[in-house]
Amino acid sequence: MVAALHVVDCALCGLPTAHPFRGEGGTLFCCPACLEVDRLLHAGEREARAAPSADLQASAPPANHATAVLSLGGLWCSSCAWLIGETLRRAPGVHSADVSFGQREGRITFDPERTDPRRLQRQVKRLGYRAWLPGETPSDEEESFSNRLLIAGIFAMHDMIISLMIYVREFFGWATPESAWLVTIFYLMMAMASVPILVLLGIPVLRAGLASLLRGQPNTHTLITLGTFAAVALSVRNLVLGIDRVYFDTASMLLFLVAVGRWLEMRAHKTGSDALERLWKQVPTEATWITPEGERRVPADELSAGARVRVRPGERFPVDGLVATGEGDVDESLLTGEPDPVLRRPRDRVLAGTVSLDGAFEIITTAVGAETVTGQIGRLLHQALWQRAPVERLADRLSAWMVPGAVALAAGTFTFWTVRAGPEVGLLNALSVLLIACPCALGLATPLTLWLGLTRSAEGGVILRSTAALERLASVRQVFFDKTGTLTRLPFRLQAVFSGELDEEAFLARVAAVEASSEHPLAQAVVAEAESRDLALPSASDFRAWPGYGVSGRLEDSRIWVGNQRLMDTQGLKLGADLAARAATWKRQGRCVVYAGWEDRVTGLLVLGEETRPEAVEVVDALQAMGLQVAVLTGDDKMAGERWHERLGVPVYAEQRPEDKMARLREAAGPVAMVGDGINDGPALAAATVGVAVSHGTDVARAAADVILLGDEIRAVPWLAALARTTMRRVRQNLAWAFFYNLIGLGLAVTGHLQPVLAAAAMIASSLIVTGNALRLRQFPAAGARVEGERPRSEDSADTPDAISSVPVAG
Ligand code: ADP
Ligand code: MG
């Protein structure tokens, strides 16, 4: 007799299945991926329940409130919307703020007595976005600016040609009294051609200049306003009084050149943010959702976790998820910077924005939009871009001094030359002083260079939380590595299980039940082995991680301890002679031994193969070649420490608990970098001058580090160190250049050797030079390429034939 085929619907994605997988509490799923996601989701819920909800604390809707709608510009991903929303919600007087990335719009309810729409608009603008109130016309700032620049440029040209004709007339001796009327006409033409320039370019500068003056913070705009309007006023006076000298050409050229500088700056900043925009643009906005009724195209960020999505060969993944069916190569270079594709199979993790090269996948969504790894990266990078590094503050401080200094110097120059050669010469020379003292290059050089360094590192799969991290990294003298999970090759593989009391599988199941709650790489290997043997894991309660030692948890009524020998010692679990002898043998063979026990004794051992990452030696050499000291800190025992010392040839400090690691980092002379596991090395990463986390592609935003490596190679460490040094070198070069240029220019201007137009041209040239120098960072070799001091690749590839290409990023 044939049993009727029993079809059930998956509890997560809703698809019918005849061969369900049974999850906790008997829930049925269509595939292991759905089961896994459901488990993850419930873990999330538990966390959410444990944390006090912010929403609950929100006050009741206010009696007295108003609503404002802001149209937004300059958002490049949904995390920008998140940031704006967060900022607004924290602003005084704001009750709620809903910001939609799709509609580029924010709806804000607020208390009209405490704030108003204009102030909210300013708050958004201060974050670097554009915002318009209803009735204001959104326009592309850059486009309208370049149009104005173009029109003004034509008129400026006109002025220059006329003034050239006047010079020609004088130069060839045609300046006869009979033709003097011609000059007056030329002057009038110049005056007329200057009017559009003054309106198009002058008024915005005037407005900005006055505004900053009123705030008591004179800036470059103030200088330019003073300069141009002094030149125009002088010219008008001369024209009216019939004095044979006008400076309309100077004023218009000045405004034009300054606007060119401003435009350059806009372009340069755009270059910085383009890299981010490019990242986000790679994530498809639509996804193919598989429902019981068939397939549908839907906006990707409307999917919820658990939705089943189809991704065909050549397509990009629209969401983060786990592979349910399908197998194939995936190009993850967008996030990791590593050019080699990685193989993805059922239950592996795939990330939004990466490309399925040849596999036809069905995946189960784990995260969409801003919650995807790509979204988290966008958010981190964006925050990093708006944080100022100390060296930027130095530049700001210098600028803040230079403007009043320039005004004082200009006043001195004016007085001196007025006494010596009359007010006209005085004014012109003072104008040159003002122009040349403009700290444009200084203000531009530093942030731009840091931005480019930051985006360049993102292209190489390295995320920096702030530009300050680059600055600190460049100063680092010593690099410490964590061992397990950082220098060891992942994943670990369980090679043997031994228990004197239980049979092997029952013992493994008990240990795995506790380890299932740990993110440690050793724990993952234990759980993977239990799963591959299809063991039913009992559920453990009371889980606790003992960083540097191991974990514990309660099963039925005994407490199970899993970890290293020191954990067993501290808990007073006795180690029998047989187990001790076996452990010693395995350790001598270079394996990693994990102890487990309950009640009063160690009941068994787990043996894991420990291999060095293929690139570890190369990375250590490269860092040493850069003059950095390298050392290893490990929670493992002395014997393992010895072994690693032999392998790498650097000092290895063994039996380091997290607090020992921190102490050692604090004691180290000078700035130190610590490279470690994203999550379990949190304290050490935070204690170092710069913490570098190996993320294994998991929760990027949670890693307690300044720097997060997305790729699965630590080769990015020397690359990043070199990039940081190059970036800071460029910053210093630019600062030095801007400083010397200002000094020399000032000398010439004060002594009356620099025409105002030349001063303006020099200012632009200087900005161009620093911008160009910063842009050279874009040519910094890609992450996978050779870095100074590394050895040729052939040496290390020979003995590691099946290198890293098949290691999943999955966490
Ligand atoms: P490292 O400093 O080398 O990265 P850790 O501090 O992560 O090492 O761990 C130190 C030691 O503690 C490990 O070698 C291991 O013996 C033990 N340990 C830590 N966590 C676990 C765990 N979840 N399961 C088993 N052993 C663990
Ligand atoms: Mg570790």
Q: Is the CB of 682 under 6 A from ligand 1?
A: no
CB proximity list for 524: less than 8 A, separation 6 or greater: 491, 492, 515, 518
CB atoms near residue 165 (< 10 Å): 14
**Shortest CA distance to 124 belongs to which of 156, 155, 86?**
86
Q: What pLDDT sits at residue 476?
A: 95
Q: Is the CB of 518 under 6 A from ligand 1?
A: yes
SS3 content of the chain, % helix, strand, coil (to 5): 50, 20, 30
Q: Is the CB of 550 under 6 A from ligand 1?
A: yes
Specify the pairing of strand 130-132 against strand 21-22: unpaired
The residues with which 53 forms a beta bridge, in sequence order, are none
DSSP notation for 329-363: EEE-HHHH---S-EEE-TT-EE-TT-EESS--EEE
Ligand 1 atom closest to Cα of residue 486: 4
Q: Report the C-alpha gap between 226 and 553 in whole angstroms.
A: 74
Q: Report the C-alpha gap between 380 and 705 in whole angstroms.
A: 12
Q: Report the C-alpha gap between 573 and 566 in whole angstroms.
A: 10
Q: Which residues of the chain have pLDDT under 70?
A: 1-7, 13-21, 30-37, 39-63, 74-80, 101-103, 127-128, 137-142, 215, 217-220, 265-278, 382-383, 385-389, 395-396, 399-400, 438-444, 678-679, 696-703, 783-811
Q: What pLDDT sits at residue 794?
A: 36
- Ligand 1 site-directed mutation target among 484, 568, 647, most atoms within 8 Å of CB: 484
Distance between Cα 681 and ligand 2 center (Å):
6
Q: Report the C-alpha gap between 667 and 686 in whole angstroms.
A: 14
Distance between Cα 221 and ligand 2 center (Å):
53
Distance between Cα 520 and ligand 2 center (Å):
7
Q: Is the CB of 564 under 6 A from ligand 1?
A: yes
Distance between Cα 380 and ligand 1 center (Å):
29
**Shortest CA distance to 634 belongs to which of 612, 620, 652, 611?**
652
| Closest ligand (CA of 480) | 1
CB atoms near residue 599 (< 10 Å): 11
Catalytic residue list: 482
Q: Is the CB of 479 under 6 A from ligand 1?
A: no
CA angle 43, 383, 776 (to 5 degrees): 125
Q: Is the CB of 552 under 6 A from ligand 1?
A: no
CB atoms near residue 773 (< 10 Å): 18
| Closest ligand (CA of 656) | 1
| Closest ligand (CA of 483) | 1
